[in-house]
Amino acid sequence: MLSASPWTRMTDDDLLVSRLVTIFLNYQNAYWRYLEADLFLQAMKLAHPPSDFCSPFLVNAVLAMASLSAEYRAVFVEAGDYTSRGRQFHEEAMRLWLLEEGRASVTNLQALVILSMEASLRGKDKLARPFGFAKARYRGNVLFRERCMLTRLTHDLNQLLFTQDGEGMYSLVPAALSLRERLYDCCEYLCVRMTLASNIGARLQSQDSQSEPRSREPHHAAEADGEHFEAAYWTSEAADLALQAAKLLEYYRSVYGLKVVLPFIFQAATTASFILLDLCSRETGRRRPNDELHSIEAFEEPRSGLEESFRCLLGLATQVSIARGAALMVLKTAKIMKVELPASVMRLPRTVAEIVWGTKNDRSLSSSYPNYALVAAKGGRPEGLTMEELLNKWSNMSI
């Protein structure tokens, strides 16, 4: 049994603190390895701060994150409002960070990394962004190295898509192919691959690549065939990947449920929902799975894939605020695009409407998460198409 004192003043319930720490170590920490469990637990059990491996700031950050996956009555600040879970620990952690005045320590760095993700799940990623600059050196293992590789690939994707304004398509497409070659092995890379394919397709649709002279300099090792400069090639790949992601989501939901929100599950559900929403506006028939992309089983019917990905997104929306905003964006984007969603899909939001969103929740979001469907329509540019901007705009327009 872990002691609540002297680590947090938000509760004196040792059992609650012990259960929340267990949730964090079994789920969130297993996914990203924010801290070294053995050192953290040993220091926390000693209950003699200050410590090199445990602090009130770190413990409150851990409790705030764990509360987002817990249903104990004591973690709810507002009865029945799942997004209020752990808010008391979040606010206490923020207060303690201000008292630290930027002091560098292992526990401060660990707590900041946890708060960066925790605040993002609360739909406050603008608040979380400064925390993301904190860096800590961990003992390496295979899982952690793979997480670092995924982070690096995500950085490279953002650099490729959003910072190379002067690059022509004859430079961008080979660079995209080169990046894609690094993304085959892990299911969790599906989110990166979907984003890459959908954005390159959008860029090609918005630019007349034939008018650009081919560069004589071999900037990238990957060779591009003529089909790689066709928007249809990339949009088709994005659709195939989204249908595979939807099948993975179905499997995850049936085996594990949706009460524990991992970043990959939210990102996959959101990205697949937007891509399949666009696909359903253009295609109604079945698609043959592209076995060259992955050995993962895929939905063949776009509407079935959309139903599953959106079902998972709504399930996550009952747990965390960021998913609520994303689900609301999908519904309102469908209305703007005049896409008639399947009746089975439309029954889902009615079932959880009172839990999932309302005007108050819309206004409380402070997120720069993009609307992928509208970003694609705008040629891959996210300016003015973030969650906070769009939901505020649509709320004022009664959309």
Would you say residue 362 lies in a domain? yes
| Whether residue 293 sits in one domain with residue 352 | yes
Residue 336 in domain? yes
* Core vs surface per residue 318-329: b (16+ CB within 10 A) or e: bbbbbbbbbbbb
pLDDT tens for 86-96 read: 999 999 999 99
138-149: per-residue pLDDT in tens?
Answer: 444 555 555 566
Place of tokens 């620990």: 89
pLDDT at 138: 43
Give the pLDDT confidence score for residue 378 in this predicted structure.
Answer: 55
Asked whether residue 147 is domain-assigned, the answer is no
Mean of pLDDT values over 174-184? 76
Q: Residue 162: inside a domain, yes or no?
A: no
Determine the straight-line distance between the first and last CA of the chain, rounded to whole angstroms.
51
Residue 125 confidence (pLDDT) above 90: no
Give the CA dihedral 97, 100, 105, 109, nearest 10 degrees.
Answer: 20
User: If you average pLDDT over residues 67-71, what whole number do you get?
Assistant: 92
- What angle do helix axes 231-256 and 263-282 make, rounded to 10 degrees? 130
Calculate mean pLDDT across residues 111-127.
82
Instruction: Return the minimum-mean-pLDDT range out of 14-18, 90-94, 361-365.
Output: 361-365
User: According to the model, what pLDDT value does residue 198 have?
Assistant: 86
- Residue 150 domain flag: no
- Regarding whether 98 and 192 lie in a shared domain, the answer is no
> What domain range includes position 134?
14-139
Residue 161 lies in a domain: no
**247/359 same-domain check:** yes
In a domain, 72, yes or no: yes
Helices (H) and strands (E) in the chain, counts: 18, 0
* 248 or 162, greater pLDDT: 248
Does 360 fall in a domain? yes
Q: pLDDT by residue (tens digit) across 258-283?
A: 777 777 788 889 999 999 988 887 77
Which of 99, 115, 139 terminates a domain? The answer is 139
Tally of domains within the chain: 2
Residue range 219-236: average pLDDT? 72
Q: What percent of the chain has pLDDT over 70?
A: 66
pTM of the model: 0.68
